Amino acid sequence: MVIVVLAILGIAFALGRPQNTETGAVALQADRVAAQKEPIAAETAYSLDVITVGNKSSTVNQDENPVVVMPVGQGLRLVGWAIDRASNEVAGGVSAEIDRGPDIAAVYGQDRPDVAIALKNVALKASGFTIDVPPKGLPRGKHFISLKILKSDKSGYYLVKNKVSVTVE
């Protein structure tokens, strides 16, 4: 089961905001780590806040599996935050698995003071992520994107149950 903390975080999540990659956030090789580990049967906390197709951004309703329709040749961006709830620390990284193919590593460790305040733990401030799927990353058809959240010690990962459904036309 995945716990989604939204009510506490309120409007900051509904609006989203541009992510600053100059704050020391680096792209982790989460794809390699996650590919070598098995999912763990436990829960964690995360939020997928904003999905952007081309230059159009939409907030995500956390109660549903997001559905996206996009034209071929457009890029896709997923923005949110994730932590390792079991250790109450930032995650070891985040990645996206598309159609059970190779993972795409997120830029993880972005500044999210709203998360640290809501969860009352300053150590969770660097819990933001951005995943960019390149414009030619998805061919025509229906695709499913699953998020993988690495444990803080990178010994395994949480597989988020809610998938993003993407139809490329």
pLDDT, averaged across the chain:
81
pLDDT score recorded for residue 41: 66
CATH number for the domain spanning 41: value is 2.60.40.10
Q: Write the CB contacts of 40 (distance below 8 Å, at least 6 apart in sequence).
A: 151, 156, 157, 158
Q: Is 4 inside any structural domain? A: no
Q: Which residues pair with 3 in a beta bridge?
A: 45
pLDDT score recorded for residue 21: 34
pLDDT score recorded for residue 37: 67
Torsions phi, psi for 152 (to 5 deg): -60, -30
Q: Is 90 inside any structural domain? A: yes
Q: Is 31 inside any structural domain? A: yes
Q: Is 93 inside any structural domain? A: yes
pLDDT digits (tens, 9 = 90+) for 81-107: 999 999 999 999 999 999 988 899 999
Q: DSSP assignment of 89-139, as one string?
A: EE-SEEEEEETTS-EEE-EEEE--HHHHHHTT-GGGTT-EEEEEE-TTSS-
Q: Is 5 inside any structural domain? A: no
Q: What CA dihedral angle connects 36, 37, 38 and 42, to 10 degrees?
A: -160
pLDDT digits (tens, 9 = 90+) for 64-76: 789 999 999 999 9
Number of domains in the chain: 1
- Output the pTM of the full model: 0.78
Match 């090789």 to its residue by tokens. Answer: 29
Q: Is the pLDDT of residue 22 over 80?
A: no
- Parent domain of 152: 11-168
Q: Is 46 inside any structural domain? A: yes
Q: Is 78 inside any structural domain? A: yes
Q: Is 36 inside any structural domain? A: yes
The DSSP call for residue 3 is B
